[in-house]
């Protein structure tokens, strides 16, 4: 068999298509597909381009290279990319909340608002840049690799799923401990020049770590769900995600405006940070609503 015939058979079986089903999609006979796979005949350029689009592969791979080996390289690249994405997004989100936590902690020690505010914005800028880079890299990767073959073993998935509830429970436990500290802040001892904001900062510090655990665990779950990855890269889902992105972007812009107005105009720096977690929750609700409509 020629490389093309072997590759065609590989891609067809990978997508669980029979020769009849592939022939129907290409508007040719089953015998034609059989001849292509056995190397007896060769498709015209129009059909080759159609096959490349259908299998999300390049013409060079389809005709000349070993498709199975190329898919293996894609799988290794997928693992590296998804782990890098997982770490960067976790870092970005954790830093955003840590910025607020440090603001409260230092304010609790009596540090000037000018310094604590500057520190918060510096951390927030770094966090946003990390998230922007992670998002752009992920978008570029998905364009290059819209379809990935299933390669994780059931044992690997089961091993992750076994640890997933423990990680989520750990994050919830940290938040609950932080809540207890925040709720009883007025009863805890304070040093000279300190205020209750110190304990609110501890609460937010625990929330930041918990959020990091949630995000890291959730993105790990996404990594193993290759079927969902392939579905997300479909044209329909891309349009849906664009709508979600626009809504969430508008919500967070409004939250930022409220933050600045409350801080600079009304001098409410001590409480105006609340708009960011509230904005995040509203984004989550908007995402569920928009995706729920399609479902």
Nearest to 120 by CA among 107, 138, 139, 132: 107
pTM across the whole model? 0.68
Distance separating alpha carbons of residues 14 and 177, to the nearest angstrom: 48
Q: What is the pLDDT of residue 203?
A: 92
Q: What is the pLDDT of residue 40?
A: 87
Q: What is the pLDDT of residue 86?
A: 94
Cβ–Cβ < 8 Å for 119, 102: yes
Residues of the chain short of pLDDT 70, as ranges, are: 1-2, 56, 71-74, 234-244, 270, 288, 290-295
Q: What is the pLDDT of residue 235?
A: 60
| CB within 8 Å of 96: residues ≥ 6 apart | 123, 124, 127, 128, 276
């Amino acid at each position: 068999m020629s490389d093309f015939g072997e590759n065609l058979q590989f891609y067809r079986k990978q997508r669980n298509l029979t020769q009849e089903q592939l022939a129907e999609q290409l508007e040719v006979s089953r015998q034609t597909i059989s001849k292509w796979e056995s190397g007896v005949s060769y498709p015209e350029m129009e059909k080759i381009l159609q096959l490349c689009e259908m299998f999300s592969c390049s013409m060079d791979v389809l005709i000349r290279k070993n498709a199975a080996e190329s898919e293996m390289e894609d799988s290794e690249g997928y693992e590296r990319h998804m782990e890098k994405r997982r770490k960067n997004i976790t870092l970005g989100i954790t830093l955003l909340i840590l910025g607020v936590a440090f603001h409260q902690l230092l304010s609790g020690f009596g540090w000037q608002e000018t310094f604590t505010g500057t520190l918060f914005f510096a951390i927030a800028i770094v966090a946003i840049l990390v998230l922007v880079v992670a998002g752009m890299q992920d978008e570029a990767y998905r364009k290059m690799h819209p379809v990935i073959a299933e390669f994780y073993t059931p044992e690997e998935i089961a091993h992750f799923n076994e640890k997933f509830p423990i990680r989520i429970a750990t994050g919830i436990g940290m938040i609950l401990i932080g809540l207890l500290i925040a709720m009883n802040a007025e009863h805890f001892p304070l040093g000279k020049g300190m205020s209750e904001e110190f304990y609110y900062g501890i609460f937010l510090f625990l929330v930041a770590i918990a959020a990091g655990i949630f995000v890291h665990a959730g993105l790990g779950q996404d990594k193993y769900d290759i079927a969902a990855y392939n579905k997300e890269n479909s044209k329909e889902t891309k349009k849906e995600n664009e709508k979600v992105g626009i809504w969430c972007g508008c919500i967070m812009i409004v939250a930022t405006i409220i933050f600045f107005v409350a801080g600079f105009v009304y001098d409410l720096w001590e409480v105006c940070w609340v708009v960011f977690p509230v904005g995040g929750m509203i984004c989550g609700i908007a995402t569920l609503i928009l995706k729920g409509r399609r479902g």
